[in-house]
């Protein structure tokens, strides 16, 4: 109940905030409270991922705030337009909520989870079903997510060195590591399928 109250309060702080830093801090609070929700519902893998992504997002947004104009300098929309935006956002929120309520009201089809439970040891040679799904059954999806994280890391490096001229020779530890990971993954995936 406390987590739900903090989620709602943080959402309102994001909406009414007059400073960028307060808005980013409240947005980060929403992500960290969502991490706690995942922990409560016994999803530590998802909670760990959410915590890492949320921490990176807050850091990136704080770094990007240097390049965004102050909120006080941005022209305010008219009250009618803000009311229209609130109506559209509220309608979408209500529609998504109703859709989720209708989806969760139906009984859960356990055939997919039973398949992964039965095939994790013989098909993926592992007992941790989540890891087997991520590494063996959905390897290309996981590979794409790793590439996204590597790209985010490269963007972070470029934000930490503002104004530096790009060099013709790559001397980045991140680029070197990422290229080795991509090359090894492509080589391994060639023999996997």
What are 91-109's pLDDT values in tens digits?
Answer: 999 999 999 999 888 888 8
What stretches in the chain show pLDDT beneath 70? 68-69, 71-72, 74, 156-193
Helices (H), 70-110: 79-105
Instruction: Say what the pLDDT of residue 179 is.
Output: 63
Distances in whole angstroms, Cα of residue 154 to Cα of each of 65, 147, 172: 18, 10, 9
Euclidean distance between CA atoms 6 and 12, whole angstroms = 10
Instruction: Say what the pLDDT of residue 113 is.
Output: 85
Query: Buried b / exposed e across 78-99, counting CB within 10 Å, b at 16+?
Result: eeeeeeeeeeeeeeeeeeeeee
DSSP state of 134: I
What's the whole-model pTM score? Answer: 0.51
Instruction: Say what the pLDDT of residue 17 is.
Output: 84
């Amino acid at each position: 109940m406390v987590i739900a109250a903090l989620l709602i309060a943080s959402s309102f702080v994001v909406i009414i905030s007059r400073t960028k830093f307060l808005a980013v801090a409240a947005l980060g609070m929403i992500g960290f409270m969502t991490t706690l929700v995942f922990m409560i519902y016994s999803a530590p893998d998802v909670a760990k991922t959410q915590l890492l992504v949320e921490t990176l997002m807050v850091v990136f947004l704080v770094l990007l705030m240097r390049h965004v104009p102050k909120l006080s300098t941005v022209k305010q929309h008219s009250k009618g337009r803000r009311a229209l935006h609130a109506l559209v956002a509220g309608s979408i929120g209500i529609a998504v909520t109703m859709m989720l309520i209708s989806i969760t009201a139906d009984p859960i089809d356990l055939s997919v989870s039973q398949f992964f439970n039965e095939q994790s040891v013989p098909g993926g040679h592992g007992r941790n079903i989540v890891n087997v799904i991520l590494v063996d059954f959905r390897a290309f999806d996981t590979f794409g997510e790793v590439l996204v994280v590597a790209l985010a890391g490269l963007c972070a490096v470029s934000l930490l060195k503002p104004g530096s001229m790009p060099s013709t020779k790559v001397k980045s530890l991140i680029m070197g590591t990422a290229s080795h990971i991509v090359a090894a993954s492509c080589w391994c995936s060639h023999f996997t399928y």
